[in-house]
Structure formats: C-alpha cells, structure tokens
Structure 1
Amino acid sequence: MLTRLNCIMRKKNIIHIHPLFAIMILLAIPSGFVIQALMLFGIVLLHEFGHVIVAKKYGYEIDKITLLPFGGMAELKDQSIGFHPRRESSIAIAGPAVNILLIPIGYIFTRSPLFSSYWNSFFLINFWIFMFNMLPALPLDGGRIIRAIRAREIGYEHATREAYQMAIILSVLLFCFSVITFVVGKPHLGAFMLAIFLFVGALTGRKKVRLETMQFLRNKHQNYPVTNSITSLAVSASASVRDAALRCSPDRYMLFYVLGDTGEIMGMIDESEIATAVFRGDWMKSMEELLKELVR
C-alpha cells in the first residue's frame, strides 16, 4: 500500500486543493482553528487515498485528486468507471471505509485527558465526512453507490439522472438549513458549501448525461461480449429506440419484445440492434419501424 501511495505522491500536480477548501483554511487562521484545518486536510487526503488504492487495484490510472472540505474527487484517466457497477461501488465505498476505521480511534482517544479536545475534533471530522459522502447524490460517494445499484434495475441513464435529481433536492434542503442556522446566529458554513457544491455539480453533470449514455453503449458493445445475465423486457411498438436504449444496464444484456396494440408479440430486438440504431442517429424511430427494417 505504501508503495502505491509513494508512486502517486511522486506524480507532479496530481493533488489539487479546491477553492472552497482554500477559503476554509484561510478563514481558520484568524479564527484560531489552524490545527483543526490541518487535521481536516489530512483526513480528506486519507479518504481520497482510500479511493485511489482500490482504483489502482482495478488497474485504473489516477489523473487528479481534488481536495474539498467534506471529501474530494479522485479523477481517473479512464472515464468509463460508471459503466462497471461493481468497480464503481467498490471504489466509492473505499473512501468512507477509511473514515469508518478512523472514527473509533478518535472516539477512544477522546476519553484520554491528553489533547482530548483535538481528538474530539478528529472524531467529529471523520464522522461528518463519512455522513456527507454517503448522501445518495452524485457526485458524492453515496450517489455513485446508489447509481451502481439502480443502473442494474432501471438502466444507466435513468440511474444517473435519478442520482443528480437527488443532489438538487439535497442541495436545496442543505441551503435552507444553512440559512436557518445563519438566522439563529449559529451559521453552518459546511452545509452551505456542500449545498453549492452539490447544486453546481448536479447541473454540470446533467448536461453530460446524454453524451455519457452514448459512450456507455459504445464502450459496452465494443469492449464487452454478451454476458450470461440476460434480461427480457416488453415494450410498446410505439415506443422509441431512445426509450429502449435508456433501459440498457451495465452488466445485463437486454432483449426487447415488441408488443402490438392488443398485446401480441410482434417480434424481438436485442440490445446490439438497439445500439446500432442509436449510433446511426435513429433515436426517435419507433420500435415497430426498427423491427420492420430488421425483418426485411
């Protein structure tokens, strides 16, 4: 593990501090919370190294590590990690797992009279970083775990949009909470910054979802064979190719049974045929039209 961390640290400009984190550190100096700020920096760095170690185990190269006050973002050179639910969930849970290991250490030492206040801060920082990162919203770790689970059920794009929608809802709730704390005279800067981060991240991410879906379909059908896990789904003849494409899952091969107006089976279209139609631009073509083309 130490060898992997040394290799990462030797890379130039791989670790970046987000402006929000830089502002928090600067505010900590006149406020007398320098030790807590340095503690937060170290804990966030360890959190990110948890992600990095598991990512390296899967063979991914790390492009950049951005440190935030409530966690961070370890960006991979291979952007297809979301297309592999098991890998994405394993890498996502690794960061919070580091905090889980550190929480009892902090709790035990809070009982000690030696530097008990600092150990109390150590415990609380780990606890809140864990809680924030497990929120079920992209781009947080909890959102990646939820997407990995939901993608198998409702398709990659639907699961991604769902996680971003949750981010927007949570950002509004956190913003309202931060306003209330300001009004009562106990402002919570962390909640405000997380609200802004989630809202901006969700709006930015949603703009890229359709492109990611195209990349997902291309990546899946170029690099991975048909799996043993095959799922069949009945769709209306009037449904579009787009509707079918959005139901494609990362680790399941889809078979679409096209149903007529009376419920009779008109035919079957497999996932590769859907992907081919998508790549030639037939997003809005009906399943009935595509079926007729295929049986000619």
Structure 2
Amino acid sequence: MNYTVLRVWGIPIRLNISLFVFLPILAWLIGSGEQLAAYATLINSMTPATVEAAQLTDADRWIIGTAAAIGLFASVTLHELGHAWAAMRYDIEVESITLWILGGLASLTEMPKEWNREFWIAVAGPVTSLLVGAVCLAALFVVPESATLVVFALGLLAVMNVVLAIFNMLPAFPMDGGRVLRAVLARNRSYVSATRTAARAGIAFAIVFIFLGVVVAFSPVLVLVALFIYIGATTESRTVVIAELLSGFSVSDLVSQSETVPADATAETILARLLSARRTNLAVVDKSGTVVGAITASALRDIRPAEYETTTVGEIATTDLPRIDGETSAFDALQELRSGRSEAVLVERDGVPIGLVSQEDFTAVLNFRRDTVAF
C-alpha cells in the first residue's frame, strides 16, 4: 500500500507502508553504540570536526538516528529525482517515485533501448547522491563543532550518500550499475544479449550477498537486498526477451488464431472442444457472429455434470471481460492481461469485439517465436 505525500515536477512521491515499519528500526540501528562509533571515526577523518560517540546520551542517539534515517530516505528521494530529471530530458514520462524498505524506485513509462540514454539516466542517480554527499560534507566545515548533534547528522548523511552512490553503481542488475553495464554492452551487441549478461551479473552478486548475509555475518537486510536483486534481474531479463519476441505484433494478430463457439451450444459440446483444443477458454459468439464473451473451464466446473446437456454456453459465459483495442502492441496487451484478474481479454476494432485473447494465445506465439528467432 502506497501513500502520496507530495509532488515534484508533477511526479507523485509515494511512501510504501513498509517504510513506516522500517524507519524506527533503521533509526535504532544507526543510533546504536557500535554504529555511531564507526561513523564518528569516518567523520573525524574527513572533516575538521571532532566528535565522540561515547559522550552522547541515549536521547542524543535517538535524535541522531531518527534524523539520519529520515535524511537517508530524503537523500534516496533526491537520488530518484536525479533519474527522473535525466529521463524527462529525453521526453520520457515519470509515473511516480516510490520509497520503500529497500530504497526508492522511479517508475518510467518506458525504458529507452538507446544505450546512451539508458547510460545517462542510470548514472544521474549516483551523481545526484555524490552531490548531496558533497554538500553535507561542505556544511561540516562551517557548522560549529559545538553543535554535536548537527555535526553527527550531517556527517552521517555525507557518508550515507557516498555509500549510496557506490553501492548503486555495483554492476548488479537491476541496480544503476547493472543498467550502466547493459548500456555499455548494448553498444556492440543486441539489447537482449546485453540484458542477459547484466542479469547474470546481478544474479552472481545476489548469491554473494546471500552468502555474506547468512554465512559470514547474519544480516537480514543484506539477504533482502540479495532477493531484490535476484528477482529484479531475472524478471527484467525475462521481460526483455518476451518484449523482443512479441516485437512487431499487435494484439489483433493473435485473435485470428483463436476459436469461437456459438452461445446456444451445450456445455457438454464445449467441454469436448476445450479438451481437444487443449485450452481453458474459448470465445463465445451470438447468432450474428459477434463475440459476446468467453466460456472458461472454471465456468464449466461450477455446474453439475448432469446439467451439461441442458445448459447452454450463453448461460454460463463470462461477458464482463476487460476490453482492449486491437492496435495495442502484443507486449502491452500481455502486461495488461497479467496485471488483471481475468483469464482473457476481448479485443476490439472500432469499438466492436473481434475476438478473444488469453494467456494461452501468448504462450503459443512465444513458443513459436522462441523456436524460430535467434538472439
């Protein structure tokens, strides 16, 4: 569940509910004795300020931890706004920026396949984090050393932003460094091949992180990051391959392959057709041949076998299916089908249904393309 808290350049900034749970934990982790002692050493080595973690009270630690936790996610927001700014420079719309337990995510309406565009959009985030870190570091040269809490908070944000930039530039897809790797590889090879290589690098990093988080030093957060990278890498690789396989197809191209059944046919007849066609759904047409819905295997399961001979398809057909224009690309149609709860969608041309398309139709086309196309 996400909550929109503000808009920047018209982009909604949303907070995921997981963030509300994680922020207090992060504040405690940052404010703990060992963590602050380590940060104090870094701050003292980078700036003229001298801070001592041992002199802080418990209240001071909570204040510093809370300020740093909130400041970190503010920094993540700026990081994502860096991506958004670069994307908008290429006229790519940014749908939203969402902050959650593992950071932030700028959702773009499309990811550019031009290597140079993806490169600059990817590096814009880490560059922004480095700039934010530099500003915090510079502030330490003017803030009085007596303002211990402020010095600690600014020092933490300086360190965190530098770490944020470095960590995001690891060549582990789908992180920024993985996208940079794909962009560089895409200069001399296909987009699909570059994605596969970047995804493999991401999976390798995920395995290393899981090993470190479980075997070397127990760290649930590192394990979560590893799972995020693994899922993101495999999902992106699969999505890019599917998009390439469906490239050049509109959803109406799939309709011609689908069968239709008359609304006055009996359930018994349709059961046999579903079995012979090895499908779980078929388009239903009225007497004029117009598609009016779909008959599914699940609908047949809802009636008793004794009623198969007396029940017509029209009586149990699903007629409130989602509708999609036939000119829609096959890939976009597949994404819409997967995001909904329906087993199929009605395809329209000029507002008139022309056929039914289900997951099975996409599977058949993808299998055929996979056997005939080499990447």
- TM-score range relative to shorter protein: 0.5 to 0.7
**Hey, what's the Cα distance between the residues in 2 that align with 1:125 and 1:70?**
14
Judging changes above 3 Å, is the alpha-carbon distance between structure 1 residues 171 and 47 closer, same or farther for their aligned structure 2 residues? same
The residue number in structure 1 matching 2:233 is 202
Give a deviation string over 1:265-289, Cα, whole Å, max 9, x none.
xxxxxxxxxxxxx99x5654599xx
Pair 202,51 (structure 1): closer, same or farther in 2 beyond 3 Å:
same
Residues 130-209 of structure 1 mapped to structure 2, 5 A cutoff: 130-180=165-215, 182-183=217-218, 187=219, 190-209=221-240
Where does residue 264 of structure 1 map in the other structure? none
- CA deviations on 1:130-183 (whole Å, 9 max, x unpaired) are 012101122111111111110122211111111111111111111222224545
Q: 1:106 to 1:6 in 2, by over 3 A?
A: closer
Distance 1:18 1:134, change over 3 A: farther
Partner letter of residue 204 of structure 1? T
Q: 1:194 Cα deviation (Å)?
A: 1.7
User: For the structure 1 residues 103 and 211, does the alpha-carbon distance in structure 2 shift closer, same or farther, using more than 3 Å as the test?
Assistant: same
Output the TM-score relative to the length of structure 2.
Answer: 0.51
Distance verdict in 2 for CA 1:106–1:95, change over 3 Å: same
Identify the match of residue 34 of structure 1 among 66, 69, 91. 66
* Percent identical residues: 27
How many residues end up aligned between the 2 structures? 214
Question: Is 2:39 the partner of 1:8?
Answer: no
TM-score normalised according to structure 1 size: 0.63
Name the amino acid aligned to 2:10: I
- Separation of aligned partners in 2, 1:209 and 1:52: 21
The change in CA–CA distance for 1:21 and 1:204 in structure 2 (over 3 A counts) is farther
Cα 1:286/1:84, change in 2 over 3 Å: closer
Call closer, same or farther: CA 1:48–1:87 in 2, change over 3 Å. Answer: same
Query: Could you tell me which residue of structure 1 aligns to residue 21 of structure 2?
Result: 23
84-93 vs 206-215, which moves further:
206-215
Structure 2 residue identity aligned to 1:15: I
- 8 Å CA contact retained: 1:28, 1:37: yes
In structure 2, C-alpha distance between the alignment counterparts of 1:82 and 1:137, rounded to whole Å: 19
Q: Deviations over 1:78-131 (max 9, x none)?
A: x2x241211111111111111111222233344551322111211121012101
Give SS of 2:9's match: helix
**CA separation of 1:286 and 1:119: change in aligned 2, threshold 3 A:** closer
Alignment of 1:281-296 (within 5 A): 281=368, 284-285=371-372
Matched with 2:285 is none
Contact map agreement 2:245 2:369 (CA 8 A) in 1? no
1:54 alignment partner, one of 59, 77, 86? 86
User: Cα distance, 1:25 vs. partner?
Assistant: 0.8
Q: Is the 8 A contact 1:48 1:71 kept in 2?
A: no
SS at match of 1:75: strand
Say which is worse superposed, 145-154 or 29-38, in terms of deviation. Answer: 29-38
Q: SS of the residue aligned with 2:174?
A: coil
Structure 1 unmatched runs, 5+: 220-277, 288-296
Question: Quick one: structure 1 residues 284 and 201, their matched pair in 2 at CA, closer, same or farther if it must change by over 3 Å?
Answer: closer
Distance in 1 separating the partners of 2:74 and 2:101: 11
Q: Which has the higher contact order (CA 8 A, sep 6+)?
A: 1
Q: Comparing 158-167 with 61-70, which one deviates more in the overlay?
A: 61-70
Separation of aligned partners in 2, 1:101 and 1:30: 27
For 2:294, the equivalent position in structure 1 comes to: none
What is the distance in 1 between the residues matched to 2:132 and 2:102? 15
Q: Who is 2:122 aligned against? A: 92
The change in CA–CA distance for 1:168 and 1:22 in structure 2 (over 3 A counts) is farther
Seen in structure 2, the aligned counterparts of structure 1 residues 143 and 282 have a Cα distance that, compared at 3 Å, is closer
> Over the residues paired in the alignment, what is the CA RMSD in angstroms?
2.9
Contact persistence 2:206–2:229 (CA under 8 A)? yes
Cα distance change on mapping 1:100 and 1:167 into 2, 3 Å: same
Measure the CA separation in 1 of the matches of 2:9 and 2:236. 30
Deviation at 1:20, TM superposition (A): 5.1
Which amino acid counterpart does residue 201 of structure 1 have in structure 2? G
Q: Distance in 2 between matches of 1:58 and 1:51?
A: 11
Q: Is the 8 A contact 1:25 1:37 kept in 2?
A: yes
Tell me by how many angstroms 1:21 deviates: 3.6
